[in-house]
Chain A
Amino acid sequence: MQPIVQCKNLTHYYGKRCIYENLNFEIPKGRILGLLGKNGTGKTTTINILNGYLKPRSGECLMFGENSANLSPETKQKVGLLIEGHVQYTLMNIHEIEKYYSAFYPKWKKEAYWELMKLLKIDPKQKLSQMSCGQKSQVALGLILAQDPELLILDDFSMGLDPGYRVLFVDYLSEYARAENKTVFVTSHIIQDMERLIDDCMIMDYGSILYQQPVEKLLNDFKRFRFSGNVQSFDGIEQVIHPVTIKGNTEFYSFEKKDELTRILTYSGFKPTDIKEESLTLEEAFIGLTGKY
């Protein structure tokens, strides 16, 4: 089955600064893909190219087989977009904005919208400009769910939200996406939220994709290891990722199993006798792969 989103050989520069070259990835139908990366690695660049608001230096992004820079109206109806900051027209109240958007989408499901609006403790005539960030995010989410798109693109969905609204957002989105077999592409800086939501993760580093696999596989394969001892250098041991020694204790990350790692380290002249293997959360795995600042 053709993927919903395909990005092929994406290359982009800002002036002379290379963001990435020949980036390739796909989002299969029915999967929730989370894009993770440090600041400046190209997450927003990728989202903007995907949404047709940035022309890449070369390469293309396809959504439902169409170039994302020139989507037909029929394809745009299938794509629900949440802009960073839950941007909406704040001069309208919840009735007016629902009426406005419903005119554009024949499959509009107002029940999905009003189910969320029931939870909002506001005056029905209250404009969005008079609502808090969390309340606005709830309205934005309701509008997207009512649109009933096949593909949802959510840029930094947790920005400015308190924990309560973040949980509400993740719970509603996760239940909706899984029940309706929707495809979701999402970014956020709060990786705990992403861990509860996404099926697959794509971790970007400066200039490339570091890792793109299901989250379950990452957390099964990628571990942290600690042992006591000072290590000056792990040069030449590519299985050891981002080693750090602090006050006589060394920690590093690896995709290798503990036994194989012990064998490699011993062969390389290290004699670790007390290697401890630790499972990671998604956030810890992200830091392990990308390194601490």
Chain B
Amino acid sequence: MEKALLYKEWKKTRLFTLGIAIIGIILLGYILLKLGRSFRLAGMEHLWDVIVNRKQFMFRDLKYFPIAAALWLGMAQYFPEVIQKRIKLSLHLPLPEGKVILLMYGYGLGILLGVYLLQLLSLWVFSSINFPYEFTISTFKTLAPWYIAGFITYLFVAMVCLEPVWKRRAFNGLLGIATVYLFFLSDVPSAYQPVIYLLIVTLVAVFPFGFLSVQRFKEGTQD
């Protein structure tokens, strides 16, 4: 039964999944090629000065990819459920309703994790070869909030789409934008390091919101 449900999610999102994976790879490839060009033209000493003394982050171009990918995937997955209230078909399946939503979440978050890992592993390999270990760790500490924001964006998209009332959808959307905005206040390297655990707590706190939307849908809430 679970495999069938995941198959349905794949049918809905396969083009978008391939799209964001390819775009993620192309984007990373572009960044790495640009860096390689800087190595050859400006030299490593200049690059090191830029990184250490001027605190420039070399991978800033990745900043909005995680939330864009999450938005894209979330819409592809949940918008079809909203049309003609098709979510009723899934909620009527002979499975606990919480499990149905959890499986849908698991699929989306799993796809995002896969896409992000593909990018981040490639980046890890590149960075390990060309930069010291400390620089690589600092890079990933700087990237972490943006990728956590990606997961939070996905959860908010689910919450907004599954909400039955337009006014509440708008409110949830604004709440989501405000929450995600907090993750982009600074791109100074490792700026979020002191509060990284708080960011993870935020992700955990946002996780149940979609279930609230489904509960309101089930009750037939109109305002």
Q: Name B66-84 residues within 8 Å CB distance of A.
A: 80, 84
Quick one: CB contact mask for A62-86 with B, threshold 8 Å, 1 for yes?
0000000100011011010101010
- Asked if B194 CB lies within 8 Å of chain A CBs, one says no
The verdict on A89 contacting B8 (CB below 8 Å), with A73-B96, A104-B93 known, is yes
Query: Which of A3-11, A47-55, A229-237 lies at the interface with chain B?
Result: A47-55
Q: Are B1 and A103 neighbours in the complex by a CB distance under 8 Å?
A: yes
Main secondary structure of the interface of A (DSSP, over half): loop
Q: Assess whether A91 is interfacial by the CB under 8 Å rule.
A: yes
Contact, CB under 8 Å: A87 / B85: yes
When distances are taken between beta carbons in the complex, the residues of chain A under 8 Å from B4 are 99-101, 103-104
Query: Is the CB–CB distance between B88 and A83 below 8 Å?
Result: yes
Which residue of the partner chain, among B1, B80, B218, B222, contacts A14 with CB atoms under 8 Å?
B222
Which A100-146 residues sit within 8 Å CB-CB of chain B?
Answer: 100-101, 103-105
Distance (Å) between the CB of A180 and the closest chain B CB? 19
* A91 with B218, Cβ < 8 A, contacts A51-B88, A104-B94 known: no
A219 within 8 A of B: no
- Please, how many angstroms separate the alpha-carbon atoms of A89 and B223 in the complex? 28
Residue of A with least CB distance to B3: A103
A53/B218 in contact, CB under 8 A: yes
Question: Count of chain B residues with Cβ under 8 Å from any Cβ of A?
Answer: 25
Find residues 83-136 in chain B having any chain A CB closer than 8 Å to their own CB. Answer: 84-86, 88-89, 91-96
Residues of chain B with a CB closer than 8 A to A170's CB? none
Bound Cα distance from A53 to B220, whole angstroms: 6
B7 on interface, CB distance cutoff 8 Å:
yes
Q: In the assembled complex, which residues on chain A have CB atoms less than 8 Å from the CB atom of B12?
A: 91
Task: Indicate whether A92 reaches chain B with its CB closer than 8 angstroms.
Answer: yes
Q: Is A41 an interface residue (CB 8 A)?
A: no
A48→B220 contact, CB < 8 A: yes
Q: Give chain B's interface secondary structure class.
A: helix
A281 within 8 A of B: no
Contacting A81 at CB < 8 Å: which of B11, B86, B92?
Answer: B92
Contact B88 A76 (CB under 8 A): no
Partner of B220, one of A55, A76, A88: A55
Chain A residues within 8 Å of B85, by CB: 83, 87
A195 CB, nearest partner CB in chain B, Å? 28
**Interface membership of A96, Cβ < 8 A:** yes
Asked whether B219 is an interface residue with its Cβ less than 8 Å from the other chain, the reply is yes
Q: Are A87 and B84 neighbours in the complex by a CB distance under 8 Å?
A: yes
The 8 Å CB contact of B94, one of A52, A73, A83, is: A73
Contact of B207 with A by CB under 8 A: no
Complex Cα spacing A53 to B221, Å: 9
What's the Cα separation between A64 and B222 when bound, in Å? Answer: 29
Distance of B70 from chain A, by nearest CB (Å): 21
User: Is B57 in contact with chain A by the CB < 8 A criterion?
Assistant: no
CB of B120 to closest CB in A, whole Å? 31
How far does the alpha carbon of A73 sit from the alpha carbon of B80 in the complex, in Å? 24
Contact of A100 among B8, B84, B91, B217 (CB under 8 A): B8
Shortest CB distance A148–B (Å): 13
A37 to B61, CA, bound (A): 61
Minimum C-beta distance from A272 to chain B (A) = 49
B218 touches A104 (CB 8 A): no
Q: For the complex, give the distance between the alpha carbons of A14 and B222 in Å.
A: 8
10 contacts between A and B (CB under 8 A): A51-B88, A53-B91, A54-B219, A55-B219, A76-B92, A77-B94, A81-B92, A83-B85, A99-B4, A104-B93
A-B CB proximity, top 3 nearest: A54-B220, A103-B4, A55-B219
Beyond A85-B84, A87-B88, A99-B4, 6 additional contacts (C-beta under 8 Å) are A51-B92, A73-B95, A89-B80, A100-B4, A103-B3, A104-B4
